[in-house]
Structure 1
Amino acid sequence: MNNGRMWKPWSALVGMNLLWGIPAVVPVWLLWYFLVNWPLAALGWSEPEPTENDGMLPWLLVGGPVVVLFALVWWFANRAVLRRTVLTPRMYWPVSALVTFVPSLTLMIGL
């Protein structure tokens, strides 16, 4: 199963997922905007955007495919790297998800 050369686990994981984190800013923002305007606003935990009156259909037609497509491509890319590393899946998947969110968190914090 692990034929060929094994990669250094942290360099492959961090490098690839930091690069994937740059385009991940778009789906992360879409998910955040959706959550703030509908489910969290319905619970009273956030204020919805006052000009957001298009409903949920545009979000399902545009935002849904963008998020699903990114998640699938990210998953397939990480699966390929996981096969070449010596890390266990229990360690690999949480760390890769957190590293992918670094660019989005950096933009949210404003660093």
Structure 2
Amino acid sequence: MKNTQLWKSFVPVAVNLLLGIPAIVPIFLVWYVLSNGPLADLGWTSRDPNEDDGMLLWLVILVPVVACFGGLWALVNIWLRRKMFDAPTPYPYWLVCVTATLAPFFVGIGIG
């Protein structure tokens, strides 16, 4: 019985690690918009000198990409949580899912 429960707990981690690979694109887009917009206005980052198109173009690109990925990510994780577990507490599950999804992005930053 314990092996079955242990196996079930690794499935969401593996799925979210795989979802983290395409998540690199929306996470990078969010960082790019923030670093050239509000964070640059605060003086925390410097603007890209070649960025002269304005932020509206980036928001037109950013919003659909993040909305599509966020919707897909939420639906997959809600389905996995209902399918794999009877009634777990929600906080550790979602924390592990978010961490596993962000892991490929931070590994890519560490390598690059």
Q: Please, what TM-score do these two structures have when normalized by structure 2?
A: 0.88
What is the distance in 2 between the residues matched to 1:9 and 1:45?
43
Give the number of equivalent residue pairs.
107
What is the distance in 2 between the residues matched to 1:23 and 1:7?
27
Query: Which of the two has greater helix per residue?
Result: 2
Residue by residue, what CA displacement relative to the aligned partner does 1:39-73 show, whole Å, maximum 9, x if unpaired?
10000000110111111111121111101110010
Identity of aligned residues (%): 41
In the alignment, what sits opposite 2:93?
92
After superposition, the Cα gap between the structure-2 partners of 1:58 and 1:45, relative to the gap in structure 1 and judged at 3 Å, is: same
What is the distance in 1 between the residues matched to 2:77 and 2:15?
8
In the alignment, what sits opposite 1:65?
64
Give the deviation of 1:11 after TM superposition: 1.3
What is the distance in 2 between the residues matched to 1:69 and 1:7?
31
Give the deviation of 1:8 after TM superposition: 3.6
In the alignment, what sits opposite 2:109?
108
Contact 1:8 1:85 in 2 (8 A): no
4+ residue segments displaced more than 3 Å: 6-9
Give the deviation of 1:7 after TM superposition: 8.3
In structure 2, give the amino acid aligned to 1:89. P
In structure 1, give the amino acid aligned to 2:40. A
What is the distance in 2 between the residues matched to 1:22 and 1:88?
27
CA RMSD of aligned residues (A): 1.8
Unmatched 5+ residue regions in structure 2? Answer: none
Q: Please, what TM-score do these two structures have when normalized by structure 1?
A: 0.88
Residue by residue, what CA displacement relative to the aligned partner does 1:7-64 show, whole Å, maximum 9, x if unpaired?
8442111110000000000001001111110010000000110111111111121111
Where do residues 5-84 of structure 1 align in structure 2 (5 Å cutoff)?
Answer: 8-84=7-83
